[in-house]
Amino acid sequence: MVYTFHHLTIQEFVAALAQFLTPYILMPTHTTPPNLTPLLDIAHSDRDGRFQIFLRFLIGLSDPYTKSLLNELLGTLSSETTRQVIDWIQRIFENIGIETSISGKSDKKGDLLNILHYLFESQNKPLMKATIGTLKKIDLSRNRLSPVDCIVMAADLQTCEMVEEIDLDSCYIQTEGIQRLVSVLHRCKSLRLGNNNLGYCGVKRLCEALRNPECKVQSLVLDSNNLTADCTEELASALNTNHSLKELKLNSNKLGDCGVKRLCEALRNPECKIQRLELGVNRLTDGCTDDLVSALSTRRSLRLLDLRFNSFTDGSVPALRRLIQTCTSLEEIVLFDNRLSRVGENQLLSLQGFRAELTVSVKH
């Protein structure tokens, strides 16, 4: 007998459901389901993703609530199949390793993303805690994440009490993705969101997480996100609220002088604990130098100020020298690839020995 389906999704669901019904319908003399592990391994190992819908349906059917609904229609579904599915999820998580997310291998990151989907479909809280609940770092960088992926991540991360770092660099999550994740982003200490085209709306959503009273974020990377001066009002508001932030990277955006001036309003806050501030490639000119110096010269936490690839000229040299001399905690200032003359560069370099631990970088 041959069955045909009008939609592939229905076919995948029926194929998954058959794994719970087969022992009782097709093989009535069998009381124990066959070993599903080889089938699960083959489906999971296929790199083109053709079996992912089938796997997610299969794992979703192991959810007790889902099974209870189907039991009324189809009779009792196999609990042994459910056990095999749960054991298999635990095993593949152990196989990719607790440190998988740190490995940087794209295929391993893909495995981690698939496991997040499996756990979401299972709705098995103890299983989530026993697997991803122990992770300290979630690294899905350079994997294109859909809004559905972000929904899954947000749900799963609710159980990750130990996570300290989330790396979503170059995941193209944009505003909708951030909106889905905003409920969990405040939980980590390090948050990497570079190259996601967040723009104003995305940053506005992100700042909701940063303003959360329980926000733990200490390091925030927002490089290459098409941020303009309009975004800095939200960022400044978040900085005024979140005093845990120690590292802020805003390289390769379009903040301009106006945007930096707004940021400086928050940087003047005595509660601000910024240690590393990176503003490279942001179309900055001499017009914002005085504001930067005014905001940062008395900061006793600032260690690094990166202003590379902007348009500062010799007109900024006196103010920058004053900053270097008065900000006693400053260990490095980066100014290469600006519009400084050799005379201006030398005036800044002459302060190199002002403090033993000080580095002034004006050339590559």
Bridge partners, 254 (sequence order): 228
Give pLDDT tens digits for 95-141: 876 544 444 555 667 888 999 999 999 999 999 998 888 889 999 99
> What is residue 315's predicted lDDT score, i.e. its pLDDT?
98
> What is residue 100's predicted lDDT score, i.e. its pLDDT?
43
Of the listed ranges 83-87, 109-113, 118-122, 333-337, the least confidently predicted one is 109-113
Higher pLDDT, 63 or 217: 217
What is the strand order of the sheet 137-139 is part of? 137-139, 165-167, 190-192, 219-221, 247-249, 276-278, 304-306, 332-334, 359-361
**Can you spell out the DSSP letters for 68-83?**
HHHHHHH-PPPHHHHH
Helix H or strand E encompassing 116: helix 106-122
> What is the Cα–Cα distance from 94 to 134, expressed in whole angstroms?
11
Is the predicted pLDDT of residue 162 greater than 80, yes or no?
yes
What's the chain's length in residues?
364
Of the listed ranges 30-34, 81-85, 198-202, 263-267, the least confidently predicted one is 30-34
261 by DSSP, 3-state: which?
Answer: helix
> What is the Cα–Cα distance from 193 to 189, expressed in whole angstroms?
13
Question: What CA–CA distances, in Å, run from 184 to 50, 150, 181, 191, 217?
Answer: 30, 11, 6, 11, 11
pTM comes to 0.90
The average confidence (pLDDT) of the chain is 90
Q: Are strands 165-167 and 276-278 parallel, antiparallel or unpaired?
A: unpaired
The answer to whether 320 and 349 have CB atoms below 8 angstroms apart is no
CB atoms < 10 A from the CB of 271, how many? Answer: 10
> What is residue 102's predicted lDDT score, i.e. its pLDDT?
44
Tokens found for residue 136? 């300290």
> What is residue 343's predicted lDDT score, i.e. its pLDDT?
96
CB atoms < 10 A from the CB of 354, how many? Answer: 13
Give pLDDT tens digits for 192-248: 999 999 999 999 999 999 999 999 999 999 999 999 999 999 999 999 998 999 999
pLDDT range class, residue 71, cuts 50, 70, 90: confident
> What is the Cα–Cα distance from 10 to 219, expressed in whole angstroms?
45
> What is residue 146's predicted lDDT score, i.e. its pLDDT?
95
Is the predicted pLDDT of residue 68 greater than 90, yes or no?
no
The answer to whether 116 and 152 have CB atoms below 8 angstroms apart is yes
Using alpha carbons only, give the angle 295, 167, 145 rounded to the nearest 5 degrees. Answer: 120
Share of the chain above pLDDT 90, in %: 68
**Can you spell out the DSSP letters for 140-206?**
-TTS---HHHHHHHHHHHTT-SS--EEE-TT---HHHHHHHHTTTGGG-SEEE--SS--HHHHHHHH
The answer to whether 197 and 168 have CB atoms below 8 angstroms apart is no
Backbone angles phi, psi at 217, to 5 degrees: -65, 120
Is the predicted pLDDT of residue 307 greater than 70, yes or no?
yes
The answer to whether 148 and 173 have CB atoms below 8 angstroms apart is no
Question: What CA–CA distances, in Å, run from 123 to 86, 96, 320?
Answer: 11, 21, 56
> What is residue 31's predicted lDDT score, i.e. its pLDDT?
58
> What is residue 263's predicted lDDT score, i.e. its pLDDT?
97
The residue type at 186: H
- Average pLDDT estimate for 56-61: 91
317 by DSSP, 3-state: which?
Answer: helix
Give pLDDT tens digits for 10-56: 888 888 888 888 655 555 555 566 788 898 898 888 877 888 999 99
> What is residue 364's predicted lDDT score, i.e. its pLDDT?
66
Give pLDDT tens digits for 165-201: 999 999 999 999 999 999 999 999 999 999 999 999 9
Is the predicted pLDDT of residue 148 greater than 80, yes or no?
yes
> What is residue 29's predicted lDDT score, i.e. its pLDDT?
55
Question: What CA–CA distances, in Å, run from 73 to 33, 57, 68, 141?
Answer: 20, 17, 9, 43
